[in-house]
Structure 1
């Protein structure tokens, strides 16, 4: 599907039934215009999603050299590493990068962030679709702007190209690994996500396929200290012997809480993280985790965006499958007598 051409001021004039100079006067506010004409112009602007900014001019002229990155966060490991990959690939392609933080998924917040970025002479955008702000931003971008989602899962929405880690498959593999160690079930401590986490679905499907009723998902947010509190609470439940955490920071918080609550890792409880944070192998014990190549994710997103802007057609989506890295935070389930099963 070819990206739509950005609406121009003549389109607004045609829809509003006024002249181009009248539209210009309304938008610039330099010359008084009747309320009736102003209302018609603004209605046409809204209907066409017209934006009198550098992004539209750049796309029309094919003269821009800047791409926008929309992210709900820039400090967490996965976000920062993906942005690193975007910046490296953009630099090689002769493109500049402007990063816009979308601080929430409220309509006003998303609209403000999008409008701020579209004031620049953009040739395209990359959205980090890792969380609710990312998903909301992807929905709000004008259709004429080439955009690629760098994501943690696939989507049934084919309007935008995606480069994504198949977190659903990765979470399934991690859950299956813990079950194969003899654990009767696997608990899940989840991260916030847009539209339902692929990690949650992969974990739940694997338990269900094994004939196991999935335990309730625990949602501590992003805060490792909140995950520590969860670990303290789970430490008192002897049925908890295996946990899949939504990311490595939560896994580290969980381990701290479990140990503070008197449980040994992995003798009493096995913990698997997600992302392979650079510090995960230095934790005590070193963390078993799902390795995600976020830098490569960012680079591939730029490559897809360049392909799309060059061809004028939506580029095919790209799937990446993360690897499970087994370290020392996981082990065989213990029998009630404290022995590993034979």
Structure 2
């Protein structure tokens, strides 16, 4: 810093102000100091600044699965928003959402000196009483049923499921079958409950739910059973990948889409528009979920009052996989 001050012709205090991005330096002086820094190869010592300020400008992310479409999109948005806000990320993947794995992830983040943590684990177990998260560190939970006193950012799962089911009913389908995600998934439970609620409110028959595991293979297995039932005319599938498997099974069974069976997915993956036929689906805004979770965490770090829960709305994207119920289907309850 003394060398920079000498080259720029300023005091060491002025160099410190510029290095810490303070606004009480006039533009001409700032430019001169920055030029001297570049010419001398000077970079501020972030560790030293952290010791003085108590801030590391670093955020930890505990992630259950990087392979899932939603998690990867959300993480991408968190990273972009963090970079724009001047924060770096430390990513800690965990095998399960058990107490041992989550506690171990927090211990590892402690070694990396982070200012706060975003938890991206979409599992019921995180919300159970035996999952104790460390106190004294700002935390935001993404897409979780956590009962802890932390801000939660989530897609409005129930609203998304409702608009999917209502779309099929408005097309004249007597009822709607549902292919659910796994039972330990909070998002799957919210979508399943909303599906049931809509049918119950309209006094319609509630078919048995079929449980998949988010993969096209499980959708195909369930789809083969649905294809054998002539009463099945409308299907709401809890994600687009399982919907792909359902559509394949219907094709193989000779059930025409949407003339005989309409299918709605959930996510709006980029590939959904290229399904055969193009998939009607519920669009999740993973970019907004990631952006707002990072913003909520930064607000906590800076001492601002945080909202306890923030839901990001979904929207229905109507394509070719849904159509009017086949002739003879009842319109009761619509």
For the aligned pair, the TM-score class normalised by the smaller chain equals 0.7 to 0.9
Task: Give 1:163's match in structure 2, choosing from 147, 150, 153.
Answer: 153
Structure 1: 5+ residue stretches without partners: 1-57, 338-342
Report if aligned partners of 2:267, 2:281 keep a CA contact under 8 Å in 1. Answer: yes
In 2: Cα distance, 1:260 partner to 1:117 partner = 49
Provide the C-alpha distance between the structure 2 equivalents of 1:99 and 1:328, rounded to a whole number of angstroms.
39
Q: Give the unaligned 5+ runs of structure 2.
A: 1-49, 330-334
- SS of equivalent to 1:234: helix
CA contact (8 A) 1:68 1:97 kept: yes
Mapped partners of 2:51, 2:165: distance in 1: 46
Q: 1:326 aligns with which of 310, 318, 333?
A: 318
The answer to whether structure 1 residue 125 and structure 2 residue 117 are counterparts is yes
State how far apart, in whole Å, the 2-side matches of 1:218 and 1:78 are. Answer: 22
Listed as ranges, the matches of 1:67-146 within 5 Å are 67-132=59-124, 135=127, 139-146=131-138
Structure 1 counterpart of 2:172: 182
1:181-260 alignment, distance < 5 Å? 181-192=171-182, 193-194=185-186, 197-260=189-252
Count of paired positions = 278
Q: CA deviation at 1:138?
A: 11
Residue aligning to 1:262: 254
The alpha-carbon distance between structure 1 residues 172 and 214, as it changes in their structure 2 partners (threshold 3 A), is same
Q: Which residue of 2 aligns with 1:150?
A: 142
Cα shift at 1:328 = 0.4
Residue aligned with 1:126, SS: strand
**Please, which moves more after superposition, 76-85 or 259-268?**
259-268
Q: Secondary structure at the match of 2:115?
A: strand
1:186-232 deviation per Cα after TM superposition (whole angstroms, max 9, x unaligned): 11111131386211111110000010232122111122112111111
| Contact 2:127/2:147, CA 8 A, preserved across alignment | no
TM-score, scaled to structure 2: 0.77
Q: Deviations over 1:88-110 (max 9, x none)?
A: 00001111112222222333333
Task: Please state whether the residue corresponding to 1:118 is helix, strand or coil.
Answer: helix
RMSD across aligned positions (CA): 2.5
Greater Cα offset, 66-75 or 97-106: 97-106
SS at match of 1:324: strand
Task: Describe the superposition over 1:40-78 as per-residue Cα deviations: whole angstroms up to 9, x where unpaired.
Answer: xxxxxxxxxxxxxxxxxx799622222111222112211
Question: Partners of 1:123 and 1:231 in 2: how far apart?
Answer: 47
Instruction: Work out which of the residue numbers 163, 170, 181 in structure 2 matches 1:173.
Output: 163
Distance 1:156 1:209, change over 3 A: farther
Could you tell me the TM-score, scaled by structure 1's length? Answer: 0.75
**SS in structure 2 of the partner of residue 142 of structure 1:** coil
Aligned residue for 1:251, secondary structure, equals helix
Q: The residue matched to 1:110 in structure 2 has which SS?
A: helix
Cα distance change on mapping 1:322 and 1:60 into 2, 3 Å: farther
